[in-house]
Structure 1
Amino acid sequence: MILHEKYKQVRQATIDFCSHLEIEDYSIQVVQFASPAKWHLAHTTWFFETFILKNYVENYTEYNANFNYLFNSYYNNAGDRILQNNRGNMSRPSIDKIFEYRAYVDTKMFEFLKDVSEQKIIDLVTLGLNHEQQHQELLVTDVKYMLGHNPIFPEFHEAFHLVNDFNTYNSSVKIKAGNYNIGHQGPGFCYDNELGVHKVYVADFEINNHLTTNGEFIAFMESGGYSDFNLWLDEGWSWVNSNNISAPMYWHIIDGEWHYYTLSGLQKVDKNAILTHVNYYEANAYAEWKGMRLPSEFEWEIAANQLDWGRRWEWTNSAYLPYPNFIKENGAVGEYNGKFMSNKMVLRGASVATSKNHSRPTYRNFFNPVERWQYTGIRLAK
């Protein structure tokens, strides 16, 4: 696909999702980690303006000089920025101004992309588009967090249930011990944290070709899984008790039955559907209860072409660390992944909220082990 067509397609997908929002929805920030929709719309636009237009278009006039401060996320090289937990305090600029900002930058980008041939710039635009796709997924999960914590559980849109999918298989895959290549190879986009192809040795292992279902996790719950400290990592046990956790996120007992909030409203939990919205601690405790374990990210990648994956981000037992020969780029782009390689766990695969054409077997997602507002699930190994 021609670059400017890809640009138009990705940018429109963000607008299409937001078209289902009410005007009051755009500015709300329920918690620090869930940013307002208005901020996502502006930040993804800021990326193209800051890293491409301002650097490569002669005499470029930025839309608003204050927007760098308002919509920079974590790029220290790009200047000062507001605190993350203040993103929801901006009633101004209005959402109308944010859409004007997007239109202004898009017009400038369309003009710019007509004559782009330098590979460095093409790569940077491609990074920006993948960055926007990441924020499209965050929009889904942040909006769900906002509406899912509204006491009347409002419907976002009937077509966005997103948790009513099921396993295709109920088998496992056996992998022989040996040395295997890990990391992205060949053409196509990848992030810098996937580069540095290297060999790893793994012992014989077996990995499920299916994800844990709601019914299977209910069995864990009913057996006292959330109250048995023997199953939990110490930090996980502290989290359970400090927050009175007894079920996955968005689950509620109503008239003696489990229900969960979906973006198409409150629904009864389907025991046969694939589990979602559990964190690393819950995944690890469930694996312990089953007498199994979570796979390493290397085992997951080795087995990926034999697995049915892509509907849940899958927790692994691997800490998010650099591959051998990982090279962090200079400047703001170098802040994209490298500086987060501490106190996070790797997730593999993709989810039902992931944008189209934004997944691959080498993709290394990462979150804090306590986080569960993403569409996360459990695949077991032994």
Structure 2
Amino acid sequence: MIQLASDINSDQRASSSLRTRLLETRQLSVKLAAPLTAEDMVAQAMDDASPTKWHLAHATWFFETFVLAPRMPGYAIFDESFGYCFNSYYEQVGPRQPRPKRGVLTRPSLESVRAYREHVDVALEAFFALGLDEDDAAASALEIGINHEQQHQELMLTDVLALFAANPLRPSYGQPQPQKVTAAKRGWMIEYAGGVERIGYAGQGFAWDNEGPAHETLIHPFALADRAVTNGQFLEFVLDKGYEAASLWLSDGWAALNREGWRAPLYWEQRDDEWRAMTLQGMTRLDPAAPVAHVSYYEADAFARWAGRRLPTEFEWEIAARRAPEAANDLSSGALRPLPAPSSVAGAPRQMFGDVWEWTGSAYLPYPGYRPPLGALGEYNGKFMVGQHVLRGGSCVTPKGHARATYRNFFYPHQRWQFMGLRLAEDL
């Protein structure tokens, strides 16, 4: 079984320096890939997913391209062809392998990618030894690189799940764990008065550019569920023929449902009278008390309509998250799947920073006064601000410390291979 809670992501780390966090992040990526075979790491399950080998190389290319090459005197590019192979979407950097075709990159070999990571890691150590990280611009680039690799650690696992779910053998990534299926306890709605609230990141630490500028927003009184929607609740929607009721669905969602043949969340299967789901521990019985995962925005919106409620705006979600405990079922727990909500604390929402990313009703748009950073790194968030919806929180495979109340994740409304769930809201 892969152990995550007690080593690299431990809260007992000796130092929180930039160098230490960089080293831990680089080591964790390798550790996450360790249970996989070479064949596992080159396959691509679908256009949205990428092979593990590509993730390992791309995160390394990021440090080489944005930290070492422009800032370290005498740095030697490992292989000029890797820029084409492992660039993702940075138009200003140059052409790249099309995303849907990353699975054909059987070359460079896995051994070459591992040598590439070692080459860049040695150079990063030298970078710190020379004191070059003390420059504000260099420190910023390193911080972005750390957070960028953490995002790809989450993608590595969700992409592996997509790959193994498509495999008829239904292999397990982690060692199967004893499963305790529990009955879901009743949740409740928490009321919020609303008013003029300051939204967005305004602290001194790291945040992505799309989390600001902080600005004031008028919030009307609302109520938000104290926990994420559970599998048991969503199963009621399925059994009530929610996937057959056109009146519950947005037009584009109804078209996607019929085009793709959706009849339940991704990875759900019914065997006789038992519902099961594909997880990173293989096929398991559906836990009715655990949060539902792998639902698209369309499915989340249809469920909310069926339940007589709605999805929260991202601003409502952020306000509620300020009261939420920071403890979360994230990657450091080692569970690798959403878990039932912990015991409640009166007036405090649960599960806001782990288990599943939560769809909001907010389109992914810039905040007032937003300007993307200059240069290629300005392509990271700003150019995607159209046609997508915001998710908030974090998931069971989000690295520890990566999420925060202002974090804005975003995906297209039809996508559902990530650990995507929902929380209900209503007007007061």
Pairwise same-fold verdict (TM > 0.5): yes
| 1:114-125 to 2 correspondences below 5 Å | 114=129, 115=131, 116-125=133-142
> Structure 1: which amino acid aligns with 2:356?
R
User: What is residue 396 of structure 2 aligned with on the other side?
Assistant: 352
Supply the distance in 1 between the matched residues of 2:204 and 2:183 (Cα, whole angstroms). 32
Query: Within 2, Cα distance between the matches of 1:233 and 1:174?
Result: 27
Q: Which residue of 2 aligns with 1:280?
A: 297
* 1:118/1:74 CA distance change after superposition, 3 Å: same
Give the alignment of 1:34-45 within 5 angstroms: 34-45=49-60
Asked whether the 8 Å contact 1:163–1:274 carries over to 2, the reply is no
CA distance in 2, matches of 1:377, 1:219: 16
TM-superposition CA deviations, 1:4-49 (whole Å, max 9, x none): 1111100001001100001210100121110000000000000000
- Please point out which of 232, 238, 258 is paired with 2:275: 258
> Where does residue 64 of structure 2 map in the other structure?
49
| Whole-angstrom CA distance in 1 between matches of 2:243 and 2:412 | 20
The answer to whether the aligner puts 1:316 opposite 2:360 as a matched pair is yes
Are 2:259 and 1:233 aligned?
A: no
Partner amino acid, structure 1, of 2:361: N
Tell me if 1:106 matches 2:121.
yes
Partner residue in 2 for 1:221: 238
Identify the range of structure 1 (229-238 vs 246-255) with the bigger mean alpha-carbon deviation: 246-255
Go from structure 1 to structure 2 and tell me whether the alpha carbon gap of 1:278 and 1:254 turns closer, same or farther (over 3 Å shift).
same
Quick check: 2:185–2:289 contact (8 Å CA) kept in 1?
no
Give the number of aligned pairs: 382
Letter in 2 for 1:76: E
Is the alpha carbon distance of 1:160 and 1:60 closer, same or farther for their aligned partners in structure 2, counting shifts above 3 Å?
farther
Q: Which residue of 1 aligns with 2:385?
A: 341
Correspondence for 2:214 among 194, 197, 201: 197
Q: Which residue pairs with 2:311 in the alignment?
A: 294
Distance between the aligned counterparts of 2:265 and 2:144, measured in 1? 33
- Is the deviation greater in 299-308 or in 260-269? 299-308
Pair 1:168–1:291, CA change in 2 (3 A)? closer
How far, CA to CA, are the matches of 2:186 and 2:388 in structure 1? 30
Task: Give the 3-state SS of the residue equivalent to 1:207 in structure 2.
Answer: strand
The TM-score, its normalising length taken from structure 1, stands at: 0.97
Residue 171 of structure 1 and its aligned partner are, at CA, apart by 2.4
CA distance in 1, matches of 2:247, 2:393: 29
State the secondary structure of the residue aligned to 1:23.
coil
C-alpha displacement of 1:305 = 2.2
Following TM superposition, the consecutive aligned residue runs of length 4 or more in structure 1 with deviations greater than 3 angstroms are 159-169
Determine if the alignment matches structure 1 residue 374 to structure 2 residue 418: yes
Contact 1:63–1:104 (Cα < 8 Å) also in 2? yes
Out of 62, 65, 77, the position equivalent to 2:77 is 62
Looking at structure 2, the residues matched to 201 and 162 of structure 1 have their Cα atoms a distance apart, in angstroms, of 44
Q: Which amino acid aligns with 1:70?
A: C
1:180 is paired with a residue of what secondary structure?
strand
Q: Which runs of 5+ in 2 are unaligned?
A: 1-15, 324-348
Does structure 2 conserve the Cα–Cα contact (< 8 Å) formed by 1:77 and 1:332? yes
State the match for 1:9 in structure 2.
24
After superposition, the Cα gap between the structure-2 partners of 1:368 and 1:341, relative to the gap in structure 1 and judged at 3 Å, is same
1:129 aligns with 2:173: no
Give the CA deviation at 1:172: 2.0
1:30 match: 45
**AA in 2 matched with 1:237:** W
Asked whether the 8 Å contact 2:58–2:87 carries over to 1, the reply is yes
Partner of 1:174: 191
The Cα of 1:68 is off from its aligned counterpart by 0.5
Asked if 2 retains the 8 angstrom alpha-carbon contact of 1:45 and 1:105, the reply is yes
- Structure 1: state its 5+ residue gaps: none
* Offset of residue 163 of structure 1: 11
Q: Does 1:152 align with 2:169?
A: yes
Q: Is the 8 A contact 1:171 1:208 kept in 2?
A: yes
Shift of 1:161: 9.5
Deviations 1:72-119 (A, max 9, x none): 000011111111111100111110110000000000001102212111
The residue type equivalent to 2:35 in the other structure is H
CA distance in 2, matches of 1:192, 1:266: 39
Q: TM-score, structure 2 length as denominator?
A: 0.87
Residues 207, 326 of structure 1: alpha-carbon distance in 2 compared, 3 angstrom cutoff:
same
RMSD of aligned alpha carbons: 1.7
Q: Percent identity?
A: 42
* CA deviation string 1:271-316 (max 9, x = no partner): 1221111010000000000100000000100111232212210000
Partner letter of residue 326 of structure 1? Y
